[in-house]
Amino acid sequence: MKFFVDTADINEIKELAATGLINGVTTNPSLIKKSGKEFIPLIEEICDIVSGPVSAEVASTDYETMIKEANKLKDIAENVAIKVPLTEDGLKVCKELSDGGTMVNVTLCFSAGQAILAAKAGASFISPFVGRLDDISSDGMNLIADIVTIYDNYPNFDTEILVASIRNPMHIIESAKMGADIATCPANVIKQLYKHPLTDAGLDAFVKDWAATGQSIL
């Protein structure tokens, strides 16, 4: 499974990129607003840090303006993935861009039927939002299972399942068990994967025992 970090915070991106554990970055208008930075220079900076896909989202909802915005964004760097909404116009933009060799991330997916349409439109990535489904008392992970099953039935579908709106480590683990391709997560959720009380307790015991030997490796 690949990990993308879902943030527009340069410091978070640099810190995680240094670990070698992340494969890309996803952004959205809300994250750009939170960063307080200018959109295009920020995407340029992220693309200089991360060699994998960096999702930059169009701001409009009509086809004509979306395609103009997309054409401007894709010129920022070769690893920019254009993020479009899962609407009729969004999928029209997806088809045109993907036919031309541009990576497209189709976002705001909440049903398996929508995921089928995105794959047929040639999306590089489909972003089902598990956390937001959980918020309305639906089971977001059931959607991931359905999309994995459907895509596996059709080898000609090249779309990668990018699990989004991840709220906790179990969303990541369950997605991996189901065979989803990518998890995009806030930095703090990725860091939670490191944590286990038995790891902490074991390390503490090892450190104390080593100190008691009076030895030094260096």
Instruction: Please report the pLDDT score of residue 111 as a whole number.
Output: 98
How much is the pTM?
0.95
Binned at pLDDT 50, 70 and 90, residue 126 comes out as very high
Instruction: Please report the pLDDT score of residue 213 as a whole number.
Output: 97
Q: Which of 34, 74, 83, 95 is catalytic?
A: 83
Looking at domain 2-213, does it have CATH number 3.20.20.70? yes
Instruction: Please report the pLDDT score of residue 146 as a whole number.
Output: 98
In the chain, pLDDT over 70 holds for what percent of residues?
100
Instruction: Please report the pLDDT score of residue 116 as a whole number.
Output: 98
Binned at pLDDT 50, 70 and 90, residue 24 comes out as very high
DSSP for 144-195 reads HHHHHHHHHH-TT---EEEEBS--SHHHHHHHHHHT-SEEEE-HHHHHHTT-
> Is residue 83 among the annotated active site residues?
yes
Domain ranges of the chain: 2-213
Q: What is the mean pLDDT of residues 135-162?
A: 97
pLDDT, one tens digit per residue, over 43-84 is 999 999 999 999 999 999 999 999 999 999 999 999 999 999
d(CA 90, CA 63): 7
Binned at pLDDT 50, 70 and 90, residue 17 comes out as very high
